[in-house]
Chain A
């Protein structure tokens, strides 16, 4: 095991990561490596185990075996909130913004791990608490500005359109300036114009120094945006490398199109 470890520490590395459910291996011995910086995509047919892998990485699902390293530390047994504190943030496939809260309060919640004021400081309204809160509000506004929702900071999140809720979820995740941002199908349900805007937003996010790992079905979107691609099929990793090679890989074509089509393409 030790001899296989890369010299340069990757930001995220899973090894032999497995999650079994009764009668189903959703994620089967996956080795996933995400270097620091850039956009990395996790693709695969429906039911390939992409979302389960995301849930394993973010700590919402416990692995059956294998381990996860993040920024050099073993986080396999850490709860989701501890992982968030280490600089991991995520969005959800089915949007999960806090609907009754305002946009600003949603973004502020993303800063929760950075707030250190004690109960005494809060109740006594100590200067340190007020400074921290002012700072947090400024950071939350920046996060809303990043996704283009700054002007609607005081509106309730539930009142936003679907696409805007997705953007708000990204703002909440980005408020804490995470090292790794996990986006679960960020372009789902978006029209072509919104998808283009989302690509630009993700590039901006990468420009701030945050590494992005995303699950996506829109191949055009993935191929244009990603620096590397990992392909899952039936819970197993079948490819890992640059997007251009993924498109030409026979195993990947087979997974997406079935063996017959793959054979016909290969025969041509």
Chain B
């Protein structure tokens, strides 16, 4: 029985890892969408977390328990640096600006030899166990759940519904926008470090425009009424290509169709349930 379970696990380990990583990325998207910001920098944050953590491991020989928290530093620094100028933007302008930043970073990974160029970096020790990945995902869900029920959660939803009214009510909209961007950077940075240390190879194209849109589709499909929606969306969009493995090269087409269908018929996502916004 145990051997059978072991077998199944080894066969599907990649999928198990992807489910956890994509769940984290979906939450990274969720925190900005929940506050009404269409910021698409999650793949870029993930790339920064992945590349910086791999450098710490390979070049500096840091232990993984130190690498994982430190992998948030570069994404957070980047979020703080770009936050000032970009958060004056909103809607589609913010989306375009953040996609552009992702492309700039991708060009840097491609052209800096120390980062492996187009070949990427390989030989990364597989130190991120599925257990660790799911523990981080569970912790992130718990934190977002608790924060969502507090005054911060109410402020985020108020901003999403009507930023002007939220500001007049006393919500520091600018600070909150920067705050959710930093939270998004932390979650995506962790996802980047974990995935890099679960797969032994990273390359510049793992963090470009295509993954940015895929991460957005997780949250759109799942819905942003609670943090569980995006994780559900990520699970569905990660599992479906496995089920339809023969059509793997149509994955992007499929994601596009899912986004269109979700926007048309499920505007509040698969999980339309809206979490309560009070803790007492």
Interface-side segment among B116-124, B170-178, B197-205, B227-235: B170-178
Q: B151 and A125: CB pair below 8 A?
A: no
Nearest B residue to A92 via CB reads B165
The B-contacting residues of A in range 50-67, CB under 8 angstroms, are 58-60
A225 contacts the other chain (CB 8 A):
no
- B169 contacts which chain A residues (CB < 8 A)? 81, 84, 89, 109-110, 112, 172-173
The A-contacting residues of B in range 98-125, CB under 8 angstroms, are none
B171 interface neighbour in A89, A112, A137, Cβ under 8 Å: A112
Contact with B along A120-134 (1 / 0, CB 8 A): 001101000110011
Contact with B along A18-54 (1 / 0, CB 8 A): 0000000000000000000000000000000000000
Contact with A along B163-186 (1 / 0, CB 8 A): 011111111111000000000000
Q: B161 and A99: CB pair below 8 A?
A: yes
Interface-side segment among A100-108, A234-242, A256-264: A100-108
Q: How far is it, in angstroms, between the C-alpha of A43 and the C-alpha of B274 when the chains are bound?
A: 41
Q: How far is it, in angstroms, between the C-alpha of A80 and the C-alpha of B173 when the chains are bound?
A: 10
A119 contacts the other chain (CB 8 A):
yes
Q: A81 and B171: CB pair below 8 A?
A: yes
Q: A112 and B168: CB pair below 8 A?
A: no
A119 interface neighbour in B147, B154, B155, B171, Cβ under 8 Å: B147
Expressed in whole angstroms, the minimum distance between the Cβ of A53 and any Cβ of chain B is: 15
Known: A79-B167, A176-B170. A133 touches B150 (CB 8 A): yes
Q: How far is it, in angstroms, between the C-alpha of A110 and the C-alpha of B167 when the chains are bound?
A: 10
Q: B168 and A122: CB pair below 8 A?
A: no
Nearest B residue to A133 via CB reads B280
Q: A125 and B146: CB pair below 8 A?
A: yes
Expressed in whole angstroms, the minimum distance between the Cβ of B41 and any Cβ of chain A is: 21
Known: A80-B167, A84-B170, A85-B170. A133 touches B278 (CB 8 A): yes
Q: How far is it, in angstroms, between the C-alpha of A130 and the C-alpha of B278 when the chains are bound?
A: 10
Q: B161 and A100: CB pair below 8 A?
A: yes
Q: How far is it, in angstroms, between the C-alpha of A54 and the C-alpha of B98 when the chains are bound?
A: 35
Q: How far is it, in angstroms, between the C-alpha of A84 and the C-alpha of B166 when the chains are bound?
A: 10
Q: B151 and A117: CB pair below 8 A?
A: yes
Q: A117 and B280: CB pair below 8 A?
A: no
Q: A81 and B172: CB pair below 8 A?
A: yes
- B277 contacts which chain A residues (CB < 8 A)? 101-102, 105, 108
Q: B162 and A98: CB pair below 8 A?
A: yes
A166 contacts the other chain (CB 8 A):
no
Expressed in whole angstroms, the minimum distance between the Cβ of A33 and any Cβ of chain B is: 22
Known: A81-B173, A100-B161, A133-B279. A58 touches B168 (CB 8 A): yes
Q: B146 and A123: CB pair below 8 A?
A: yes
On chain A, the number of residues with a Cβ less than 8 Å from chain B's Cβ atoms is: 42
Q: B280 and A130: CB pair below 8 A?
A: yes
- B274 contacts which chain A residues (CB < 8 A)? 100
Q: How far is it, in angstroms, between the C-alpha of A98 and the C-alpha of B169 when the chains are bound?
A: 11
Q: How far is it, in angstroms, between the C-alpha of A227 and the C-alpha of B53 when the chains are bound?
A: 67
Q: How far is it, in angstroms, between the C-alpha of A89 and the C-alpha of B154 when the chains are bound?
A: 18
Q: B152 and A119: CB pair below 8 A?
A: yes
A189 contacts the other chain (CB 8 A):
no
Q: A122 and B146: CB pair below 8 A?
A: yes
A115 contacts the other chain (CB 8 A):
yes
Q: How far is it, in angstroms, between the C-alpha of A88 and the C-alpha of B146 when the chains are bound?
A: 29
Nearest B residue to A156 via CB reads B274
- B155 contacts which chain A residues (CB < 8 A)? 109, 112
Q: How far is it, in angstroms, between the C-alpha of A111 and the C-alpha of B166 when the chains are bound?
A: 11
Expressed in whole angstroms, the minimum distance between the Cβ of B144 and any Cβ of chain A is: 10
B158 contacts the other chain (CB 8 A):
yes
Expressed in whole angstroms, the minimum distance between the Cβ of B20 and any Cβ of chain A is: 21
Q: How far is it, in angstroms, between the C-alpha of A98 and the C-alpha of B171 when the chains are bound?
A: 13
Q: How far is it, in angstroms, between the C-alpha of A58 and the C-alpha of B157 when the chains are bound?
A: 22
Nearest B residue to A137 via CB reads B280
A113 contacts the other chain (CB 8 A):
yes
Expressed in whole angstroms, the minimum distance between the Cβ of A128 and any Cβ of chain B is: 12
Q: How far is it, in angstroms, between the C-alpha of A113 and the C-alpha of B167 when the chains are bound?
A: 10
Expressed in whole angstroms, the minimum distance between the Cβ of A267 and any Cβ of chain B is: 47
- A125 contacts which chain B residues (CB < 8 A)? 146, 279
Can you name 26 A-B pairs with beta carbons within 8 Å? Answer: A81-B167, A81-B169, A81-B170, A81-B172, A84-B170, A92-B165, A92-B168, A98-B157, A100-B157, A100-B274, A109-B171, A110-B169, A112-B151, A112-B154, A112-B155, A112-B158, A112-B171, A117-B151, A122-B147, A129-B150, A130-B279, A133-B150, A133-B278, A133-B279, A134-B280, A137-B278
With A80-B167, A133-B278 known, 15 other A-B pairs at CB within 8 A are A79-B167, A79-B174, A81-B167, A81-B168, A81-B172, A92-B165, A96-B162, A98-B157, A104-B278, A109-B169, A109-B171, A122-B147, A129-B279, A136-B280, A137-B280
6 closest residue pairs by CB, A with B: A84-B170, A113-B170, A133-B280, A96-B165, A115-B151, A134-B280
